[in-house]
Amino acid sequence: MNDRFVVVGAGTMGLGIAYVAAGAGHAVELVEVDRGRAAEAPAALAALWDRAVRRGRLDADAAAAGRDRLTLRASLAEVPAGPGVVVEAVPERLELKRRVLAEAAALRPALLGSNTSSISIGELAVGLPSPERFLGLHFFNPVWAMTLLEVVVGPATTTETTTAAVALARRLGKDPVVVRDLPGFATSRLGVTLGLEAIRMVADGVAAPADIDKAMVLGYRHPVGPLELTDLVGLDVRLDIARTLQAAYGDRFAPPELLVEMVAQGRLGKKSGQGFYHWEGGVKQ
């Protein structure tokens, strides 16, 4: 496998994956079709490298080298064929992901991964020319800080592909778990359950969001409460995941009305400045 690493989507996750892959020595091409998002990406990435230098995790030369290994592309059509890895990190919608994966597969990467949080890898693989080289590569947010990588084995994924993905995870500094292809895998199914119930509790007036979060942090030793985590993930992202899990498992994953309303109002969490908390400059107020 060569060291060319393509990331599709420069959102919350794509930026993080691109940053980590460039830091691990890959030649990264980050594809973003939205002009506004593409224009913001260089500054967002520069801020990550600057912070790593400020905090003493990287020296300035290593940060500059990482930055030089990253190229932005306006579409997959601009990416030369034959990359080692392509990771798709576009929004959690089946048809969109299938379209993007079909385009990515046409580049004939050695390994094709989806960062889906909840959609079945088997469903995403429908129509792909080489489903044996495709699997889930589920990174966690923020990608540079979270060591877990869920490697999701689809019905057609070969052992060779899974082994290559586990090796890739380790090269990226991640600690992988290999899981079966059931919607929500080993993490989102539980994590979203907690998040949705916490939102129902806000709607029921059980306590203020900060107190619901504090109860889980102090009472259950969670590092961050379920509502703050929902703000960090993005309410729109969690809504999409809830809908996917509702289709797979039934109404126990039905999104609460409050979540639907907040997304419709553009209260998406950290990325929009307002969710269950108010955020300024990426910092919870």
The one among 4, 5, 7, 12 contacting ligand NAD by CB under 6 A:
12
**Angle CA(167)–CA(168)–CA(169) in degrees, nearest 5?**
90
Sole window of 44-52, 57-65, 114-122, 257-265 interacting with ligand NAD (rule: CB under 6 A): 114-122
Q: Which residue is nearest to ligand NAD (CB)?
A: 11
The nearer residue to ligand NAD, 58 or 235, going by C-beta atoms, is 235
Determine if 10 is a binding residue for ligand NAD (CB under 6 A): yes
**Angle CA(249)–CA(251)–CA(254) in degrees, nearest 5?**
110
Q: For residues 1 and 189, give the distance between their C-alpha atoms in angstroms, rounded to a whole number.
A: 32
The one among 6, 26, 28, 32 contacting ligand NAD by CB under 6 A:
32
The nearer residue to ligand NAD, 58 or 184, going by C-beta atoms, is 184
Query: Could you give the C-alpha distances from 13 to 24, 38, 255, 258, in angstroms and in order?
Result: 16, 14, 22, 25
Site string for ligand NAD, 213-252 (x = CB under 6 A): --------------------xx--x---x-----------
The nearer residue to ligand NAD, 100 or 135, going by C-beta atoms, is 100
Where on the chain is the footprint of ligand NAD (CB under 6 A)?
8-14, 31-34, 37, 89-92, 100, 115-117, 138-141, 233-234, 237, 241
